[in-house]
Structure 1
Amino acid sequence: MGKTVLVDLSHPFGDKCPLWPYFEDVKIERVHYMAKSGVLSQKITTVMHCTTHADSPAHVVEGTEFTHEIPLEKYYGTGVVVDIPKKRWELITAKDLENATPKIQKGDIVIIHTGWHRYWGDSQQYFLYSPGLGREAGEWLVEKGVKAVGVDQQALDHPLHTAIGPHGPGPLRPDICKEYKELTGRNVEDDFPEWEPCHNLLLSNGIVGWENVGGDIEMVVGKRVTIAGFPLRWYKGDGSIVRLVAFIDEDEINNVPPRVYKYGTF
């Protein structure tokens, strides 16, 4: 046994970081700086649902838990990082989860690696064309009794199950719905009839969800690890930016180089 290594599964947070379609830009203002006062202080205006973050049940299910009400134990434990490669607009199925390795067990934290984290950035490919979860996968995860779920995509639901499609305040991108119809011959609402079914299934059943998982996830794909992804202790919070980390023995880590993020492009 070697020493324990901490692997960062988080995308960076910062000025103008990539955002889901209906959020305003993150704004970071220097209020003190060295030439002015000899210290650096910054004021940040942000939504908490950006970069790698946890959704709280109150985000989507009225009358359920806010961030400060969720026990810290929900954000920590033994988990698996399963490899389920997917292409544009593909659904992650119950069969995918059942056949994944390492085997998903009751009480596990499940991190799903589709490979889509590689596209994270201010891009339509990442936010509009990603694969994702739907009702079938959500029901499987609830029945399995998992503890938490993280995805390397834009949301806990497939993008066409969100307001990007004709749901809730959507369609935010009617052109994407048109493109889907031209490609498949079907309306989005035929194949994705519900608004965020996986959000609702997981969160209403007390299963914590992390979105935009990334960072150095490829170092731990296919491994059973310890996971921690704690939110801020935000009273009445609907979610929180997190630092999601995997703990793994150095002898078990995959031999891949760490990801390099370039300022301004992420």
Structure 2
Amino acid sequence: MTSATDTLAGLFETKAVSFVDLTHPMKPGMPVWPTHPHFCQEMVESYDRGDVACNHALAMSEHTGTHFDAPVHFVRGGVAISDIPVERFFGRMVTIDARGCQPGQAVEPDSIFAFEAEHGLIRQGDAVFFHFGWDRHWDDPAVFLADWPGLSRQASELLVERGARIVGSDCLSIDCFGSEDFPAHNTLLSAGILIGENFARLGEVPPLCFLISLPLAIEGGSGSPLRAIALVES
């Protein structure tokens, strides 16, 4: 089986690769989970005040902006983000078009089967993302923070069976708005699968490409903001 490193090297050797930034810029006023702290950026040193350097203090949640959830986020004693092997953050990326979902609707296994019928089976170790098109609401937090779609328990269980390494979307949560038992979070994180939330521009990548993503190594962290890039072969 071709390793992620070999695949990445092969893509660069073709010299026909485009880069798609899947990360929302972090700025005050950005959408956050209702119980989480808002993103704050405070000037500490400034050229305008006569300082020799520019420096900001930041305050945020581990789940601010484009980020990963680690298993410990929902699983007592689960793996922290700092303990995830770095190779998990690189590899093949599968993007499923789920724009047909209505607000608050959950993706069911049939949507995954339909994707596989056209593009082939999801492989062990794939990062599987659902493009709901919800990122179009990012700059309107009142809309972004309500009625988003997500994954059903059955769809999540299917992705566990397929051996996905990451499952994510462009919504605030992988579970539907209003969920109280969080079936997708519990199913995926209990299986050791990372969850990616608040991804951007999933509509600009093909069904199959290569994901590079690096979260912060927060000791004991339940998750981390990250920079995520898709490498798309021309």
Distance of 1:91 and 1:73 partners within structure 2: 30
The number of equivalent residue pairs is 216
Higher strand share: 2
* 2:231 aligned residue (243, 247, 255): 247
Which TM-score applies when normalising by structure 1?
A: 0.77
Displacement after TM superposition at 1:38 (Å)? 2.5
Is it true that 1:99 corresponds to 2:147 in the alignment?
no
CA distance in 1, matches of 2:178, 2:159: 20
Unpaired stretches in structure 1, ≥5 consecutive residues: 162-166, 168-194, 252-266
Task: Measure, in 2, the Cα distance between the counterparts of 1:108 and 1:24.
Answer: 32
In the alignment, the residues of structure 1 paired with residue 28 and residue 119 of structure 2 have an alpha-carbon distance, to the nearest angstrom, of: 37
When normalised by structure 2's length, the TM-score is 0.87
What's the offset of the Cα at 1:134? 2.2
Q: Match of 2:20?
A: 7
- The alignment status of 1:34 with 2:47, answered yes or no, reads yes
Q: What are the equivalent positions in structure 2 for 1:97-246 lying under 5 Å apart?
A: 97-100=112-115, 101-103=118-120, 104-161=122-179, 167=180, 195-214=181-200, 216-220=201-205, 222-246=206-230
Listed as ranges, the gaps of 5+ residues in structure 2 are: 1-13
Identity, in percent, stands at 31
Cα deviation, 1:76-106, whole Å, max 9, x if unaligned, reads: 1112111121121111111111111533233
Does the 8 A contact of 2:30 with 2:138 survive in 1? no
- Cα RMSD over matched residues? 1.5
4+ runs of 1 displaced by more than 3 Å? none
For 2:31 and 2:139, locate their aligned partners in 1 and report how far apart those are by CA, in whole Å. 5
How much has 1:122 moved relative to structure 2? 4.4
CA contact (8 A) 2:82 2:220 kept: yes
Distance apart, 1:107 and its partner CA: 2.2
1:4-45 deviation line (CA, Å, top 9, x unaligned):
111111111122221121223211111100032121110011
